[in-house]
Amino acid sequence: MRLAPSRPMTRQILTFAVVGVVNTATYYGLYLLFLLRLPYLAAHILAFALSMVGSFFLNARFTYRTPPTWRKFLLFPLTNATNFLVTTVGVYVIVDVLHAGNTFAPLLASAAAIPVTFVVSRTIMLPRDGGAPVQPPMR
């Protein structure tokens, strides 16, 4: 017997997807901009880091409806470590192994990491006990 996800979880998944689309568009725009002056891996890393900061604040506000704290902000990059590793290896494989070009490589490589990123980010962003966050919000 399968249980349907609760409404808050469904809302979180849908909002996470929307934030993900916005974040991916931001990342990709930055990647293309940086690609004008940087090698593709440097462009990827810089665009990824900048878009991750935006992703943190969007997810805190809209997906998880939790105040951003310094602790969460400092832990949030850990939630994206798997995403970063998978996309970086994917970009490398697509560009240097498959010789498929560097323009669409990041979009293709990012798809596999999305479910893992949701689970890990939800764990970091929401309190374990379901109560209020222990730390004060960022100021």
In the prediction, which pLDDT does 138 show? 65
Q: Tell which wins on pLDDT, 4 or 94.
A: 94
| pLDDT, position 67 | 93
| Structure confidence by residue, pLDDT tens digits, 106-136 | 888 887 677 778 888 898 999 776 545 456 6
pLDDT digits (tens, 9 = 90+) for 2-61: 445 567 888 998 999 899 889 989 999 999 999 999 999 999 999 999 999 999 999 999
pLDDT of 137 above 70:
no
CB neighbours (10 Å) of residue 88?
A: 16
Model confidence, pTM: 0.69
Q: How confident is the model at residue 1 (pLDDT cuts 50, 70, 90)?
A: very low
pLDDT computed for residue 125 by the predictor? 92
